[in-house]
Amino acid sequence: MKPMSAKPDFNPGRPVTNRRRRGGRIVMWLVALLLLIILAAGGAAWYVYQQLQPVAGEQTVKNVAIPSGSSVQKIGRLLEEQGLIRNADVFNYYVKYKGVAPDLKAGEYQFTTGQAIDEILTAMVEGNTVINANRFTIPEGWNVEQIADHLDKEGIVEKAAFLKEVNEGAFPDYPFVAAIPKHTDRKHRLEGYLFPETYEVDKDATAHDVVSRMLAQFQKEWKPEWTEQLKQHDLTLDEAVNLASIVEREVTVDKERPLVAGVYYNRIRDKWPLQADATVQFVLGKQRDRLTFEDLKVKSPYNTYTNPGLPPGPIASPGRASLEAVVNPAKHDYFFYVTKKDGTSEHYFSKTLQEHEANDKKSRGN
C-alpha cells in the first residue's frame, strides 16, 4: 500500500472570518450613513428653527399693506423686505404646515421687528388691521351705480371719480379689461367685473386703487380652466360674466343657479329671447316686486324681452356661485321658470309654455 500524500493545510474558518469582516464593514457604513442622515435632518430642523425665530435687533414699528388676493409667497416677501421675518421661503412652508394659508386676510397691518412669527400670523388670520384702513363690503348682485353710491356715502371715494375710473381708467395688469368689447350701448365698461367681497383699503386710497383692488379679486376668483370650458359653450369671458350677472339677479337659492343658467343656454341655442326680468329691472333703475306688461316693453338695448340675445353688457356683479353656474350649467330641457310664492325663493321649472302657464297659476295660488 502506497502511503497517502499529505493534505495541504486548510483552515475552514478563514472564509467565515472574511465574511464577518465584510459584514462588519457594511454595518459600519450603514451606521455612518444613518448618522449622516440624522445629522443632516437635525441640521435642517435647526436651520428652520432658527429662521422662524424673531428678527434680532432694535425694535421698530412697521406698517405692511397686504393686497387683496396676495399669495403666501408674496406675503412672505413683503414681510421679509420689511425685516419682520428672516426667510420668506421658510415662512411659506410654515404657513402651509400650520394650515392657515386660506385664512390670511388682506389689509394694512402694524407689526414690530422682533415680533414672533406666530403673533404675525394670528393678526393676519384674525384680520387685526390698523385703524388707518377703510373696510367696505360689496354684496353680490350690486351694480356699478349702487357700488359708487355706497363708496361715496361711506367716504371711501367720490362717486364721480369712481365712475370715471370704471369707464376710462387704465388697468394694464388685468388682460380681461382690454378684452371687454367697446359696445356703444354698454352703460359701464367694468360692470360685472367689480367682484363682490369685503375689502380693506388705505384711507388715502384713490378711486383707481379701489377699482384695481376689486379687479384683482375678480382675477383671483376666475379660474383659468373656466376660460377653456367656455369654449364648449361658444362664449367669451365677457359674455359669461354678462350671463352670470343675469343669473345672479334672477336667483336667490344657490342650488338653482346652474338650472337657471341651463334655461338661458337653451334659449340662446334655439334663438329665443332670454326674457329675463332682471334686465328690465336694470333699465328701470329700481327693484319692483312684479313687472307690468308696460314695463316689459320699455325701450332699451338691455331689455331682453324686446331684444334677442344677451344685453350689451353685464347688469350687476355676479358672485362665485353664479360664475361657476354659467361655466357648468345644468343640462336639461327647461325653457321657463317662475318663482314659487311659498317663501322659499325657489322656482318651478317647465319645458313648454303650457306647463309654464300652469306653474304660473300654481305660484299665484290660483
Query: Across the chain, where does the E strand assignment appear?
Result: 61-66, 107-112, 133-137, 198-202, 336-339, 347-350
User: Which grid cell is 27?
Assistant: 454595518
Output the DSSP codes for 292-354: -TTGGG---TT-TTTS-SS-SS-SS---HHHHHHHHSPPP----EEEE-SSSS--EEEESSHH
Cα–Cα distance measured from residue 164 to residue 162, given in angstroms and rounded to the nearest whole number? 5
Cα gap 244→260, rounded to integer Å: 10
Residues 99 and 93: their CA atoms lie apart, in Å, by: 10
Average of pLDDT values for 201-229? 94
Judging by beta carbons within 10 Å of its beta carbon (0-12, 13-18, 19+), is residue 94 exposed, middle or buried?
buried
Q: What are phi and psi of 179, to 5 degrees?
A: -85, -5
Q: Which domains can be identified in the chain, with CATH numbers?
A: 61-131 (3.30.1490.480), 134-221 (no CATH), 233-364 (no CATH)
| CA–CA distance, 138 with 336 (Å, rounded to integer) | 30
Other C-beta atoms within 10 Å of 70: how many? 17
138 vs 278: CA distance, rounded Å: 19
3-state secondary structure of 259: helix
The 8 Å CB, 24+ separation contacts for 45-52 are 48/90, 48/93, 48/94, 50/86, 51/86, 51/87, 51/90, 52/86, 52/90, 52/94, 52/117
pLDDT at residue number 23: 61
Rounded percentage of the chain residues whose pLDDT exceeds 70: 90
* pLDDT score, position 55: 85
- Residue 37's pLDDT is 79
Which residues have a Cβ under 8 Å from the Cβ of 58 and sit 6 or more positions away? 113
Distance (Å, rounded) from C-alpha 64 to C-alpha 274? 48
The yes-or-no verdict on residue 68 having pLDDT over 50 is yes
Among 322, 287, 282, 289, which residue's Cα sits nearest to residue 303? 282
pTM of the full structure: 0.68
Q: Give the model confidence (pLDDT) of 161-192 as tens digits.
A: 999 999 999 999 999 999 999 888 999 999 99
Min mean pLDDT across 8-12, 53-57, 170-174 is at: 8-12
How many residues make up the chain in this entry?
366
225 three-state secondary structure: helix
Q: How confident is the model at residue 38 (pLDDT cuts 50, 70, 90)?
A: confident
CB 324 within 8 Å of CB 231: no
Does the structure show a pLDDT above 50 at 7? no
User: What is the pLDDT at residue 173?
Assistant: 94
Can you tell me which residue has the cell 396676495? 70
Q: Which amino acid would we find at residue 302?
A: Y
Rounded to whole angstroms, how far apart are CA atoms 80 and 95? 14
pLDDT one-digit tens code per residue, 109-162 = 889 888 899 999 999 998 887 766 788 999 999 999 999 999 999 999 999 999
Backbone angles phi, psi at 136, to 5 degrees: -145, 155
Within 10 angstroms of residue 92's Cβ, the number of other Cβ atoms is: 18
DSSP codes joined into one string, 107-147? EEEEEETT--HHHHHHHHHHT---TTEEEEE--TT--HHHH
**252 falls in which pLDDT band (50, 70, 90)?**
very high
pLDDT at residue 15, rounded to an integer: 53
> Which pairing describes strands 107-112 and 133-137: parallel, antiparallel, or unpaired?
unpaired
The whole-number pLDDT of residue 56 equals: 82
Picking from 356, 247, 242, 249, the residue whose alpha carbon sits closest to that of residue 309 is: 242
pLDDT of 110 reads 87
Residues 6+ positions from 272 with CB-CB distance below 8 Å: 266, 335
Residues 225-248: what's their mean pLDDT? 96
Stretch 44-53: mean pLDDT, rounded? 75
Between CA 326 and CA 237 the distance in angstroms is 10
